Structure 1
């Protein structure tokens, strides 16, 4: 009897949730697929059937986490109708979501190390960076930003946010590091405002 698409999707969802817990708690290198499969009540073969490898499973987990972060960024930004406030709220939302304990190791530490910078950057571009670029493009159209190349600005701000997230995540006082990062970001954004 063939499994329904719904059952398959539920299996994949369960594996991703359990794998995320394992990757978050122990890090990529310490996770063994047999443990993930056992925790999901499945065989290692079932994991390989859906994801082909531990690295493939990790990439799917990273993609799922990046989608969650992107959704959080968008939700935070939409708390205001003002484009500048949307930009500030979205950037803060990214930093908050990226440094969450159940996100930071997967997104900021293991992601680039396991998948390589090229793959990690492509996934980042498809999620958080795409929201940032959309906001900046809209603001350029409304002449709220000084004229400058949109791609360069997007990559510059995205890089600054990613590096800030790493720094905040490693800080002893996360709240203070968040405030300091937002102060610097606000100063930079004021410099590009028309």
Structure 2
């Protein structure tokens, strides 16, 4: 089994990396393979709502980063997404990528356990945590929790190492993810109905 961890921070070795690495190390100790991808410094095309993905089976902007993430999702059994907090929300580049990936790769994501991690100086982590979890809960992905909301604090590079509670929360998240993966491995996915699409204008 393998977990894909996506680091949305432009600082590839910064505090978000430290938080995700704590999750990854715990998963590895539990016998789960991990793969960490850093996307924060890469140019990301946003979704233009062209709906071409429904025809092509992939995003119309078939750029290198998108292809790398899509390919990684094929072998991943679970997903962890980490982001720094910008104005009480996730990194914009990360959201631009996730908008495209979640809309065009739903068959690679449905029913896979997922978790989000927010890293901030002081506030905004719970709003970021909530925003990232929205991606998971629209695709039948079990959201893995921890002993507290999945956040770590630190501003300057390396300060996250001083957040003992935050790092413990990451380790608990890793153990919970491993437990859920093993539990799901023994069972079939639930039966699903064909989606009924409605809006507020009939």
Q: Counting helix residues as a fraction of each chain, which structure ranks higher?
A: 1
Query: Which category describes the TM-score, using the shorter chain as reference length?
Result: under 0.3
Q: Counting strand residues as a fraction of each chain, which structure ranks higher?
A: 2
Larger radius of gyration: 1
Which structure has more relative contact order (CA 8 Å, sep 6+)? It is 2
Question: Scaled by the length of structure 2, what TM-score is found?
Answer: 0.26
Question: Scaled by the length of structure 1, what TM-score is found?
Answer: 0.27
